[in-house]
Amino acid sequence: MPLSASPTLSVDTLLGPGGALQVALPAYEHRPEQLQMARAVERAFAERSYLLAEAGTGTGKTLAYLVPALLAGRRVVVSTATKTLQDQIFFKDLPLLREKMGLTFEAAYLKGRNNYLCLHRYAAFAQDPQFGSREESRYWPKLKAWAEDTQTGDRSELDLPESFSAWPRLSTTSETCVGTRCPLYETCFVTRMRKRAESADLLVVNHHLFFADLSLRSSGKRTEGVLPYYEAVIFDEAHALEDAASGHFGVGVSNYRLEELARDAVASLKEDDSRHAMLRALSARLRTGADAFFAQAPRALGLSGHESSVALQAEAMGKLSSALGGVREGLAALSAFTAGEREPELAAITRRADELEEQLSFLEKAESSDHVYWAEQRGKGLFLRASPIDVAKELRERMYGALDTVVYTSATLAADSRFDFFARRMGLYGEDGQPVTRVRTLAVPSPFDYPSQAALYLPTHLPDPSAPGFIEAAAEEIIRLCEVSGGRAFVLFTSLRNMVRAYELAAGRLPYQALLQGERPKAQLLEAFRDTPSVLFAAHSFWEGVDVPGDALSLVIIDRLPFASPGDPLVAARIKQLQMRGEEPFEQYQLPQAALALRQGFGRLIRTQSDKGIVAMLDRRIRTKAYGQVFLDSLPDARRVDDLVELSRWFNGPVRPLRALRPVD
């Protein structure tokens, strides 16, 4: 790692006025905010301290942390929430630093195991390829040719449907991989990836991989993760860390996971092996027990519909004790039969069966006061889950003791101009309220001129979001707003139900292409949106991590303030925990969380210094409730408008009459 040895290289000589970046890119304008952040990151590495850095959109924060990280002379992990940013860092920003600025370093791009072809599983699958449909089978010739030629094994090289059902049988997870006992371990794509990572100065990963690796290492059961030893971590898009961490520090059992175990058990031995018939019988026994349990579970647990969740209570699990016993017996029999066998596949079956039995017991008792338990139904999948209510303790115990340098950065870290909310959620304060390590904070504003580039439309004539007729009135407003902007709009919803209903009401009346989240893969929706003036109705995944600069996106409409549903089991448990501590959950958790989420939605609009556009908030509570001021204070200083004619004049110049509307069916 030679960079730190050169006295001529520093964040100032690289990013400062007249520095290497400005020389390499003549059109580039020096950004004081970028240099300010880079110096703060440089100081964190020098002091071996923690930094919370909020950097507004357009600051250039990626280079602001990459440059000091590469100069630090230490192996650094950069973790992101989205694949989009991961790709940008590895394929755009790092080549710029290497090719245009003369920096010498090695970098590695790492994904979860399930993104890579497993050579061992592929060999078994190829002997008898089975597909979920005739349509899927048509990909087999292309997949075979790719498997014989690929140098990385990365699924992203293939144009496979996201729902390609055969992929789980062609890849592994940390649970299903047999590790060093695999006969193809040395040629394995994941092994090769890890070896490249061991010689790299910088590792580019995502939050899910980072915490999957951390939870494996800190569980005490297994020591080999995907990531090699590292000395510092930079979390970009750090606002998404809590959800990513809570998922990996918990446990989960599903019908899919049990079915996969039964299927893998059968496939672990060839049919001419004398043990195969017994293994097939034991797998069938496990399937029978699992099918009986998951058939009874929805009614017993109180689940309703294919997209629902409910808190998991020990009493409800008690109603399923007989069916659960059948699953346990199936797991125990499978484990007993495969225990002590030499084949790595059979050893893995033993381990997986034991882990599932242990996790089922933990879920059945539902007695840990530190965890929230819930059941969730999604389509054909039924999931029993338990997660830590508060990841703060987990992070203190699993991560902070081993790392002296951590940088958290995002465009949205501060709530009500303070970092306290994020710092407490991340465990940077102990239970006594004192910092657990040296923590510095920095907030650098966006260089964008929001008063001239953005308007915030705040109507008060719409019904309250909880009142009957809200979504019908909102659909009318959406149509009028799209007339102002000429389409080119994201319409963001806090619920799938409202998203679908608004689309049904408005899509047929819009003279623009109307797109609906879920109808196509996300990448295809964005491509269609950029190609043709469109109106995209979306929720959840489009609130953040989506970058559409330029005229293609000129309007962002938000249906209601993004308060997390108190009916969500994890949210409800966090509220209850705060109440038990004597704290006020609305002011200390629900409100700051929603304010940060709204800032993320707002951030989809202005992405460059030449962008101009409108953010429309259809929830009147931002103007009529006292807490609405917290939301307004958290947003950029855009021009505020409450009249459509004035809004059209600001956006389009001279007033033009709005198109007459047909009544809603």
User: 522 and 642: one domain?
Assistant: yes
User: Average pLDDT of 356-365?
Assistant: 94
Angle among Cα 231, 237, 241 to the nearest 5 degrees reads 75
Q: Which amino acid is at 17?
A: P
Q: Which amino acid is at 367?
A: E
Looking at residue 239, the DSSP 8-state letter turns out to be G
Secondary structure (3-state) at 255? helix
pLDDT tens-digit readout, 11-23: 999 998 888 888 8
In a domain, 65, yes or no: yes
pLDDT tens-digit readout, 427-480: 998 777 777 888 999 999 998 999 999 999 999 999 999 999 999 999 999 999
Q: Is 53 exposed, middle or buried (0-12, 13-18, 19+ CB in 10 A)?
A: buried
Where are any strands of DSSP class E within 82-208? Answer: 107-109, 202-206
Looking at residue 221, the DSSP 8-state letter turns out to be S
Secondary structure (3-state) at 474? helix
Q: In degrees rounded to 5, what are phi and psi of residue 432?
A: -85, 0
> What's the pLDDT band for 654 if we cut at 50, 70, 90?
low
Contact 629, 417 (CB under 8 A): no
pLDDT tens-digit readout, 589-631: 999 999 999 999 998 898 888 889 999 999 999 999 999 999 9
In a domain, 35, yes or no: yes
Residues 333 and 346: their CA atoms lie apart, in Å, by: 13
The pLDDT of residue 7 is 53
Q: Is 14 exposed, middle or buried (0-12, 13-18, 19+ CB in 10 A)?
A: buried
User: 315 and 340: one domain?
Assistant: yes
Q: Which two tokens stand for residue 313?
A: 């209570």
Contact 60, 34 (CB under 8 A): yes
| Domain total of the chain | 3
Q: In degrees rounded to 5, what are phi and psi of residue 376?
A: -140, 135
Q: In degrees rounded to 5, what are phi and psi of residue 384?
A: -105, 125
User: 555 and 581: one domain?
Assistant: yes
Residues 568 and 593: their CA atoms lie apart, in Å, by: 14
> What's the pLDDT band for 224 if we cut at 50, 70, 90?
low
In a domain, 564, yes or no: yes
In a domain, 153, yes or no: no
User: 530 and 441: one domain?
Assistant: no
Q: Pick from 580, 238, 571, 633: which is nearest to 423 by CA?
A: 238
User: 505 and 429: one domain?
Assistant: no
Averaged pLDDT of the chain: 89
User: Average pLDDT of 515-543?
Assistant: 89
User: 244 and 264: one domain?
Assistant: no
Write the DSSP string, 209-239: HHHHHHHHHHTSS----SS---SEEEESSGG
We report the CATH number of the domain holding residue 239 as 3.40.50.300
User: 264 and 378: one domain?
Assistant: yes
Q: Which residue has the higher pLDDT, 660 or 486?
A: 486
Q: Which two tokens stand for residue 330?
A: 């199936």
User: 334 and 419: one domain?
Assistant: no
Contact 146, 152 (CB under 8 A): no
User: Average pLDDT of 563-570?
Assistant: 88
SS3 string of 20-60? HHHHHCCCCCCCHHHHHHHHHHHHHHHHCCEEEEEECCCCC
Residues 175 and 340: their CA atoms lie apart, in Å, by: 19
Residues 388 and 53: their CA atoms lie apart, in Å, by: 26
User: 24 and 62: one domain?
Assistant: yes
3-state helix, strand, coil in the chain (%, to 5): 50, 15, 35
In a domain, 315, yes or no: yes
pLDDT tens-digit readout, 254-277: 999 999 999 999 988 888 889 999
Contact 56, 446 (CB under 8 A): yes
Contact 175, 215 (CB under 8 A): no
User: 633 and 579: one domain?
Assistant: yes
In a domain, 591, yes or no: yes
Strand order in the sheet with 439-444: 107-109, 202-206, 76-80, 232-235, 406-410, 50-55, 439-444
User: 370 and 435: one domain?
Assistant: no
We report the CATH number of the domain holding residue 366 as 1.20.120
In a domain, 155, yes or no: no
User: 335 and 376: one domain?
Assistant: yes
In a domain, 150, yes or no: no
